[in-house]
């Protein structure tokens, strides 16, 4: 399985004239180093014997054959292409398969001999020395090396002998030559780390080709070996170098950029393997055990081959539906560094077509990006609902209590006002007055004394404040003048307060001494007077009294009816307003995605009915917007059950026989209805537009952006499963959004992507491809990399655009690059 390996593939050995290493010490250094892969790149020589020793003594490390050559462009080509060169030659390292050691050395020897260098009976180190200052034409190297596969990595951004020193970049003809050099050869790269980024960027943006940048130690001493290195995502084998060469953006990271940290950040936490028990028709079972990359695992296969089954097993979702094929009870998951367990790890599963379904199922709020935004709003909304329920409860309770209290007072039976026509002489009546309207002297004096006493409490408070003044420390001499002034002030002020206190005590004593018997006398006389007036009025004219009482009673009835109807009206308006507020959208603060796109999440109770829609559900013969009219009629007919029934929907009030039951049921049911403000509608606004109004394609695009927002990384998922995320998305969006997002995130979280799109699998750079297939009636899986021959064929056979994408990828050219 491919993984990021620590590679130092430009270092010199004890066989190179440029270094003075002891061979044994060199071998020990290589063995002890923390490198996973290395290559010996001595100047112009290949020490075959040394390589063999290294292979024998360090079998745990991968070794790739190599050499560093002095290279020049031949004069004929320089003239033909009108090139401007400076210095004689530049440096490049060459990598080849260790199996080609002998072939490569033979080819190189012939090149050396072509320079009239006598290598007979010379040690490798001596030969190396003899080549110092000599150089080979690129065309001759290509001609000599044509019998084996090799990579050529030019010096760039190093101290000397850079390609750009030899062929200056700012000259048009030189640039054109380099373009041809790299564009038509997918096995050339540069070595120079991030310093050379402007060069690779130039190639990507202007010359439509990808150049891989490496960074190695080129160590001058043994201690320096492995200090500068490149993290390369491959299996350490020469033939797999095509993968990082064809997609360096995600496969190659240099230590001058990333340091010692493994680019695969979830190395310690990912699903390493899974074991599934499959059932055969004959009752027997077989196991499928799959190993996974911590990065991107692509799941491919024909329709119905078991891809989604694997997705569901990984996501621990709807496994019971597959009981015919697998035994859900025995599925085992193995996390990195742990044993197999029955429990599935924490994961996020985006099922097929579920992006569009999230709206239909109101599941938008469950997307990790949306969740915290929604939860904040949900809390605010829930508080609002509680407030609403509380208020509605009070309003309806008040309305009901008033209704029933007025019924008790018989205000629903209209008074006959024909008494008005009676001939009553009111002239003899003495006007009544109320005892409470007259001044009560005793109460008045009590209030005054209390006020005076309060003044005394105030004085005590002031005195306490004076006592609590901060003390001045006289050891600070400069404070002593202040101390005297403050001391005098405190003394004078306390005297003032004592005088006030004495004054208050005196006045209270004086007040107590005054004879209050006249006050009590007046009170008893007034009481007597009120009684006398009532008695006289009664005795004088009983009919007049009856007239006045009737008049007051009838008028009171009208006043109370007005009040009751006002309450009906106000409760109605108040609840309608509360519902309007409740239904209002609550919007989150804007969140930026993709640098310049704004996402806002809103929550509302859009589907919550109006108050009128709620209560009219229980009424019969209700005319729109006439709540208080309907209610006042109920009020007037309350005492006649037959009349009362005509106002209520009988289906909702079965077995209701009394007026009180009608009223109780009505208010209880209504309140229960109003409490059901639960289902929130969540909307997503993308650049101020409601995403729901977008076409399915655009909607999927935005939702994918949101789903795969980096916030998902905060959620501690071991892995993310996407089932055919490319559905409903156009090709451009697959590349621009889905693939680029997966490429960016797969170094931080493990991905399982079920897909029919070659672009997703190949350009997304799946490190591990799982092919699901039917073997007779059995579901089987096999796995490998996109360069493995059996998987390559499955990609071609199964994926849309499989062959085209594979060829483009392995030939390195990314046609999307440089479009701008």
Partner 1 sequence: MITINNSDQVIVKHNNKEYNIKNKNQYKELIIYLTDPNEKIDASIFDIDEKLTDERLKSICLKYQEFFHSYLSLKEQAIKEAKESLKETIETE
Interface residues with partner 1 (CB under 8 A) are 391, 394-395, 398, 414, 417-418, 420-421, 551, 554-555, 558-567, 569-571, 574, 628-629, 632-633, 636
Nearer to partner 1, 560 or 797 (CB): 560
Report residue 84 as tokens. 């401007």
CB 758 within 8 A of CB 751: no
Nearer to partner 1, 113 or 422 (CB): 422
In the complex, minimum distance from the CB of residue 582 to partner 1, in angstroms, rounded to a whole number: 16
Report residue 25 as tokens. 């010490």
Report residue 391 as tokens. 């208020």
Nearer to partner 1, 414 or 528 (CB): 414
DSSP state of 420: G
**In 3D, which of 655, 675, 642, 622 has the Cα closest to residue 387?**
675
- Cα angle for residues 269, 328, 308 (degrees, 5° grid): 70
In the complex, minimum distance from the CB of residue 420 to partner 1, in angstroms, rounded to a whole number: 5
Nearer to partner 1, 440 or 570 (CB): 570
CB 4 within 8 A of CB 263: yes
Residue 312 CA to residue 308 CA, distance in Å, equals 6
Nearer to partner 1, 84 or 554 (CB): 554
In the complex, minimum distance from the CB of residue 729 to partner 1, in angstroms, rounded to a whole number: 53
In the complex, minimum distance from the CB of residue 614 to partner 1, in angstroms, rounded to a whole number: 19
In the complex, minimum distance from the CB of residue 619 to partner 1, in angstroms, rounded to a whole number: 17
Nearer to partner 1, 85 or 626 (CB): 626
Residue 351 CA to residue 354 CA, distance in Å, equals 5
In the complex, minimum distance from the CB of residue 723 to partner 1, in angstroms, rounded to a whole number: 53
Residue 723 CA to residue 292 CA, distance in Å, equals 17
- What DSSP assignment string belongs to 83-129? --B-SS-EEEEEEE-GGGHHHHHHHHHHHHHTTT---TT--HHHHHH
Report residue 380 as tokens. 């605010």
In the complex, minimum distance from the CB of residue 328 to partner 1, in angstroms, rounded to a whole number: 56
Cβ neighbours of residue 84 under 8 Å, at least 6 residues apart? 167, 168, 171, 173, 174
In the complex, minimum distance from the CB of residue 660 to partner 1, in angstroms, rounded to a whole number: 22
Residue 30 CA to residue 12 CA, distance in Å, equals 11
CB 605 within 8 A of CB 582: yes
Nearer to partner 1, 335 or 632 (CB): 632
Nearer to partner 1, 453 or 566 (CB): 566
Nearer to partner 1, 254 or 550 (CB): 550
Q: What distances in angstroms separate CA 211 from CA 51, 190, 196, 200, 681, one per listed residue? A: 29, 7, 10, 5, 50
Nearer to partner 1, 148 or 636 (CB): 636
Residue 782 CA to residue 472 CA, distance in Å, equals 90
Nearer to partner 1, 52 or 563 (CB): 563
In the complex, minimum distance from the CB of residue 418 to partner 1, in angstroms, rounded to a whole number: 6
Nearer to partner 1, 631 or 684 (CB): 631
Report residue 108 as tokens. 């190189």
CB 637 within 8 A of CB 643: yes
Residue 675 CA to residue 386 CA, distance in Å, equals 9
In the complex, minimum distance from the CB of residue 638 to partner 1, in angstroms, rounded to a whole number: 13
Angle between helices 172-183 and 197-206 (to 10 degrees): 80
In the complex, minimum distance from the CB of residue 387 to partner 1, in angstroms, rounded to a whole number: 11
In the complex, minimum distance from the CB of residue 458 to partner 1, in angstroms, rounded to a whole number: 31
Residue 218 CA to residue 349 CA, distance in Å, equals 46
Residue 112 CA to residue 259 CA, distance in Å, equals 38
Residue 105 CA to residue 84 CA, distance in Å, equals 32
Residue 365 CA to residue 519 CA, distance in Å, equals 75
* Burial bucket for residue 494 (CB in 10 Å: 0-12, 13-18, 19+): middle
Nearer to partner 1, 48 or 402 (CB): 402
CB 668 within 8 A of CB 662: no
Residue 253 CA to residue 159 CA, distance in Å, equals 21
Residue 309 CA to residue 316 CA, distance in Å, equals 10
Nearer to partner 1, 550 or 603 (CB): 550
In the complex, minimum distance from the CB of residue 397 to partner 1, in angstroms, rounded to a whole number: 9
In the complex, minimum distance from the CB of residue 659 to partner 1, in angstroms, rounded to a whole number: 18
């Amino acid at each position: 399985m491919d993984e990021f390996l620590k590679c130092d593939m430009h270092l010199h050995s004890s066989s190179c004239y440029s270094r003075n290493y002891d061979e044994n010490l060199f071998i020990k250094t290589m063995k002890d180093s923390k490198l996973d892969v290395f290559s010996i790149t001595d100047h112009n020589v290949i020490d075959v014997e040394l390589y063999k020793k290294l292979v024998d003594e360090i079998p745990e490390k991968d070794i790739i054959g190599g050499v560093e050559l002095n290279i020049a462009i031949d004069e004929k080509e320089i003239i033909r292409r009108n090139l401007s060169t400076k210095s004689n030659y530049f440096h490049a390292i060459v990598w080849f398969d260790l199996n080609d050691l002998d072939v490569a050395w033979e080819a190189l020897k012939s090149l050396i001999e072509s320079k009239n260098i006598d290598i007979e009976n010379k040690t490798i180190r001596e030969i190396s020395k003899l080549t110092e200052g000599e150089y080979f034409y690129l065309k001759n190297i290509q001609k000599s090396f044509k019998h084996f596969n090799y990579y050529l990595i030019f010096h760039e951004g190093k101290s000397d002998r850079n390609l750009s020193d030899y062929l200056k970049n700012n000259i048009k003809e030189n640039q054109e030559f380099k373009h041809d050099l790299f564009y038509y050869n997918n096995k050339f790269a540069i070595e120079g780390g991030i310093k050379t980024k402007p060069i690779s960027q130039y190639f990507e943006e202007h010359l439509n080709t990808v150049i891989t940048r490496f960074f190695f130690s080129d160590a001058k001493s043994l201690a320096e070996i492995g200090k500068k290195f490149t993290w390369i995502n491959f299996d350490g084998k020469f033939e797999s170098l095509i993968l990082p060469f064809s997609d360096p953006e995600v496969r190659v990271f240099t230590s001058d950029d990333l340091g010692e940290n493994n680019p695969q950040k979830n190395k310690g936490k990912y699903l390493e393997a899974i074991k599934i028990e499959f059932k055969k028709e004959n009752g027997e079972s077989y196991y499928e055990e799959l190993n996974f990359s911590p990065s991107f695992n692509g799941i491919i296969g024909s329709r119905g081959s078991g891809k989604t089954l694997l997705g569901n097993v990984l996501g621990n979702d709807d496994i019971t539906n597959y009981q015919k094929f697998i035994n859900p009870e025995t599925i085992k998951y193995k996390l990195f560094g742990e044993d197999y367990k029955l429990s599935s790890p924490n994961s996020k599963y985006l099922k097929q077509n579920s992006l569009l379904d999230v709206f239909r199922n109101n599941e938008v709020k469950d997307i990790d990006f949306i969740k915290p935004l929604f939860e904040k709003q949900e809390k605010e909304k829930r508080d609002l609902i509680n407030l609403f329920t509380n208020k509605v409860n009070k309003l309806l309770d008040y309305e009901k209590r008033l209704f029933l209290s007025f019924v008790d007072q018989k205000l629903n039976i209209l008074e006959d006002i024909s008494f008005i026509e009676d001939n009553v002489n009111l002239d003899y009546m003495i006007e009544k007055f109320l005892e409470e309207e007259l001044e009560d002297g005793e109460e008045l004096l009590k209030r005054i004394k209390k006020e005076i006493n309060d003044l005394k409490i105030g004085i005590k408070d002031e005195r306490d404040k004076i006592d609590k003044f901060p003390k001045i420390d006289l050891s600070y001499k400069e404070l002593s003048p202040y101390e005297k002034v403050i001391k005098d002030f405190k003394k004078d002020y306390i005297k003032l307060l004592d005088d006030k206190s004495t004054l208050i005590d005196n006045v209270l004593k004086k007040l107590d001494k005054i004879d209050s018997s006249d006050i009590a006398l007046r009170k008893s006389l007034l009481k007597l007077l009120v009684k006398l007036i009532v008695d006289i009025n009664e005795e004088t004219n009983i009919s007049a009294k009856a007239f006045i009482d009737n008049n007051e009673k009838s008028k009171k009835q009208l006043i109370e009816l007005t009040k009751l109807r006002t309450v009906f009206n106000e409760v109605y308006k108040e609840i309608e307003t509360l519902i309007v507020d409740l239904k209002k959208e609550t919007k989150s603060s804007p969140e930026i995605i993709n640098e310049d796109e704004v996402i806002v999440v809103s929550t509302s109770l859009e589907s919550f009915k109006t108050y009128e829609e709620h209560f009219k559900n229980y009424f019969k013969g209700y005319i729109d917007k006439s709540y208080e009219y309907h209610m006042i009629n109920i009020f007037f007919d309350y005492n006649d059950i037959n009349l009362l029934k005509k106002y209520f929907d009988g289906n909702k009030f079965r077995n209701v026989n009394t007026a009180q039951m009608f009223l109780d049921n009505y208010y209880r049911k209504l309140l229960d209805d109003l409490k059901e403000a639960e289902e929130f509608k969540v909307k997503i606004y993308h650049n101020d537009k409601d995403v729901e109004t977008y076409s399915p394609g655009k909607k999927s695009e935005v939702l994918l952006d949101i789903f795969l927002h980096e916030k998902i990384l905060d959620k501690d998922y071991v892995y993310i499963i996407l089932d055919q995320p490319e559905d409903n998305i156009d090709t451009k969006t697959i590349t621009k959004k889905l693939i680029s997002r997966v490429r960016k995130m797969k170094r931080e979280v493990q991905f399982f992507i079920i897909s029919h799109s070659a672009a997703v699998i190949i350009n997304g750079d799946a490190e591990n491809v799982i092919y699901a297939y039917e073997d007779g009636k059995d579901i089987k899986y096999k796995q490998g990399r996109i360069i493995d021959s059996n998987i390559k064929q499955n990609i071609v056979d199964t994926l849309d655009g499989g062959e085209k994408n594979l060829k483009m990828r392995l030939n390195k050219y990314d046609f999307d690059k440089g479009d701008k």
